[in-house]
């Protein structure tokens, strides 16, 4: 067997762990469902409990994981706490790229339309801009 003459750089274990944590957050179906609901705008835990039919402790646990990953932010308002996506546009790009990867590997799967289009903040009155497709470079 011939050995490769190319020298590879050592893997960055911290970066690898950060990526794994991010993908772990999105790999769990309940968390991905929460992301889809939050893509439509802010929600309180009790709203998400009603939408999903899950126990409050389950929703809170998964929101905590999403908060830890930086995918979700919270905004206290009186006795309520409102949760929203921290970077909705970046998540739109990520889910769009995942959709294209799935299509390229033979699976046509599309998450909710809320992740495809920017949502309107509850105080906004301006029309929504069209989503911007993210091209994936082809191996040439």
Complete DSSP assignment for 65-110: HHHHHTSEEEEEETTEEEEEES-HHHHHHHHHHHHHHHHHTT----
Residue for token digits 């991905």? 32
pLDDT of 114 reads: 63
Report, as ranges of residue numbers, the positions in the chain whose pLDDT lies below 70: 1-7, 113-140
Residues 6+ apart with CB under 8 A from 109: 99, 102
Structure-block tokens of residue 68 = 């830890």
pLDDT in tens, 123-140: 333 333 344 444 444 554
How far apart CA 58 and CA 101 sit, in angstroms, is 30
Q: Per residue in 105-126, pLDDT tens?
A: 998 888 776 666 654 443 333 3
Contact in structure between 88 and 131 (CB atoms under 8 Å): no
pTM summary value: 0.73
pLDDT at res. 140: 42
Identify the residue whose tokens are 């082809």.
Answer: 138
Determine the Cα–Cα distance for residues 92 and 22; give it in Å rounded to an integer: 15
Separation between Cα atoms, residue 74 and residue 23, nearest integer Å? 21
Which CATH number fits the domain 16-115, given the four candidates 2.30.30.140, 1.10.10.10, 2.30.40.10, 1.20.140.10? 1.10.10.10
């Amino acid at each position: 067997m011939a050995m490769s003459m190319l020298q590879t750089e050592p893997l960055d274990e911290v970066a690898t762990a950060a990526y794994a944590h991010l993908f772990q957050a999105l790999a769990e179906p309940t968390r991905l469902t929460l992301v889809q609901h939050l893509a439509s705008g802010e929600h309180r835990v009790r709203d998400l409990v009603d939408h999903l039919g899950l126990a409050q402790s389950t929703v809170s646990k998964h929101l905590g994981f999403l908060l830890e990953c930086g995918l979700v932010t919270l905004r206290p308002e009186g006795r309520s706490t409102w949760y929203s996506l921290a970077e909705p546009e970046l998540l739109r790009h990520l889910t769009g790229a995942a959709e294209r990867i799935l299509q390229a590997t033979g699976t046509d799967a599309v998450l909710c339309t809320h992740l495809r289009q920017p949502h309107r903040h509850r105080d906004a009155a301006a029309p929504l801009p069209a989503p911007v497709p993210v091209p994936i470079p082809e191996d040439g």
